[in-house]
């Protein structure tokens, strides 16, 4: 039985008892909406007719989230983003989104409740080693889904990005314990003569990312002027140069005396290696290289660093923690956060504040000493 005029769309009862709404979309094609509740179906029909009048394309009710994610990877991710980012997005889709019940759900029918349930299930899921997935991993899965649905919204595949209607999963609380000033002295003293000593000195003295350091070429360094320009980063797991993470990551830093001296010594050592390698030397102008002139592998650099730490009984560190050591030492010595942010090449000051909001004992003592000075002046005035 038809309940509305054909010009405005119509609702009829099918032989199986279900209700069927028919309307012509902005694409000129006939579309159908199924349901059992007349009032609810009428509301959906009104929405569909409004969209048609505004030229909004009808969304597919069959396209699953998994299918959309593969389309998104193929059209928006792989042609535009960096290899490391592509790899991480593909991993998230393959391991956490496509095989889940969420992946089998039509993307147009996703609800905030369904996404929240999927994230909650992920948080309770066991990862490698039988441990629950970390909050960082769950938050990253959410971020990838939000980005993918944002593209779906722009493409007209969905009418809303349901991920934006949720509170993001909580951030992981990371306890950082970068090397102290005394530990830095112990470490650098222990690597005198090590062919990577200049790399460690530059990492601590300049606060550069590992990829930025390994991408450095001698043409980026002016030892006479005492400057280094960060123009590239080395893709992790590859020997391919890429642009820095952000425009603010492109920066020029001043070289202190210790860093300059270490780099000069390193250049002399590298020249000796180049002579010894003869025709085997690969001349690509890299500052930090293998004995044959090729750029260093990130995993090998980190492994060698951790062996050097263990040799003098220092705590386990990631190579990236040398960057944290640089920033922490600058802040402990009273450097302004805005200056530290520019040195590190963070995209904004908020990133620096989030990472270094904690108080180290040295910072706390400096605050206490300053307040002692204020209180003494007050007492003297009284």
Chain segment 300-335, per-residue pLDDT in tens: 999 999 999 999 999 999 999 999 999 999 988 888
Percentage above 90 pLDDT, the chain: 52
User: Looking at residues 18-40, what average pLDDT do you find?
Assistant: 79
Residue 210 clears pLDDT 60, i.e. is over it: yes
Among the residues of 94-209, which ranges form H helices? 112-123, 135-154, 181-190, 197-206
Please tell me the predicted confidence (pLDDT) of residue 262: 96
Tell me the mean pLDDT in the region 332-360.
83
Amino acid 24: pLDDT: 82
Whole-angstrom Cα Rg for the chain = 29
Q: What is the mean pLDDT of the chain?
A: 86
- What is the tens place of the pLDDT at every residue in 32-54? 777 788 888 888 888 778 777 76
> Would you state the pLDDT for residue 236?
73
pLDDT at 60: 61
The band of 25, judged by pLDDT with boundaries at 50, 70 and 90, is confident
Rounded to an integer, the average pLDDT of 253-265 is 96
Are the C-beta atoms of 241 and 232 separated by less than 8 Å? Answer: yes
Q: pLDDT tens, 139-192?
A: 999 999 999 999 998 887 888 899 999 988 887 666 778 999 999 999 999 999
Per-residue model confidence (pLDDT) at position 6: 37
The number of residues in the chain equals 382
Nearest to 255 by CA among 221, 289, 304: 221
CB-side neighbour CA atoms (13 Å) of 333: 11
pLDDT at 3: 44
Q: How far apart are the first and last CA of the chain?
A: 94
How high is the pLDDT of residue 302?
95
Split at pLDDT 50, 70, 90, the class of 59 is low
pLDDT for residue 134:
83
The distance of Cα 27 from the centroid of its chain, to the nearest Å, equals 39
Hey, is 230 helix, strand or coil? strand
> Comparing 106 with 378, which gets the higher pLDDT?
106
Average of pLDDT values for 105-126? 89
Per-residue model confidence (pLDDT) at position 8: 64
Residue with the larger pLDDT of the pair 246 and 87? 87
Span 327-354, average pLDDT: 87
Share of the chain above pLDDT 70, in %: 89
b/e string for 280-312 if b means 16 or more Cβ within 10 A?
ebeeeebbbbbeebebbbbeebeebbeebbeee
- Is the pLDDT reported for residue 256 higher than 80? yes
Position with higher pLDDT, 4 vs 176: 176
């Amino acid at each position: 039985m038809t309940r509305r005029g054909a010009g405005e769309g119509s609702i009829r009862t099918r032989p199986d008892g279900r209700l069927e709404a028919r309307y012509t979309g902005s694409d000129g094609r006939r579309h159908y909406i199924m349901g059992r509740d007349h009032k609810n179906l009428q509301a959906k029909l009104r929405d569909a007719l409004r969209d048609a009048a505004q030229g909004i394309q009808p969304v597919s009710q069959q396209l699953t989230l998994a299918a959309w994610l593969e389309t998104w990877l193929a059209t928006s991710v792989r042609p535009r983003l960096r290899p490391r980012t592509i790899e991480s997005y593909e991993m998230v889709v393959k391991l956490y989104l496509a095989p889940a019940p969420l992946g089998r759900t039509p993307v147009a029918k996703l609800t905030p409740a369904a996404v929240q349930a999927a994230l909650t299930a992920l948080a309770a899921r066991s990862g490698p080693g039988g441990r629950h997935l970390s909050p960082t991993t769950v938050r990253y899965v959410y971020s990838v889904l939000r980005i993918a649905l944002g593209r779906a919204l722009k493409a007209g595949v969905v009418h809303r990005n349901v991920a934006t209607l949720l509170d993001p999963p909580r951030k992981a609380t990371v306890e950082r314990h970068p090397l102290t000033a005394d530990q830095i002295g112990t470490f650098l003293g222990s690597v005198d003569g090590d062919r990577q000593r200049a790399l460690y000195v530059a990492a601590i003295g300049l606060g550069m990312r590992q990829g930025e350091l390994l991408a450095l070429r001698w043409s980026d360094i002016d030892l006479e002027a005492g400057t280094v320009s960060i123009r590239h980063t080395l893709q992790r797991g590859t020997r391919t140069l890429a642009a820095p993470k952000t425009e603010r990551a492109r920066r020029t830093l001043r070289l202190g005396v210790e860093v300059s001296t270490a780099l000069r010594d390193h250049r002399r050592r590298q020249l000796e290696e180049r002579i010894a390698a003869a025709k085997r030397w690969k001349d690509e102008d890299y500052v930090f290289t293998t004995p044959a002139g090729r750029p260093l592998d990130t995993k090998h650099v980190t492994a060698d660093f951790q062996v050097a730490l263990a040799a003098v009984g220092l705590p386990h560190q990631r190579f990236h923690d040398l960057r944290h050591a640089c920033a922490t030492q600058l802040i402990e010595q009273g450097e302004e956060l805005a200056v530290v942010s520019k040195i590190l090449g963070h995209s904004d000051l908020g990133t620096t504040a989030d990472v270094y909001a904690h108080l180290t004992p040295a910072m706390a003592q400096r605050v206490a000493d300053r307040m002692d000075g204020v209180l003494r002046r007050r007492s003297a005035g009284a």
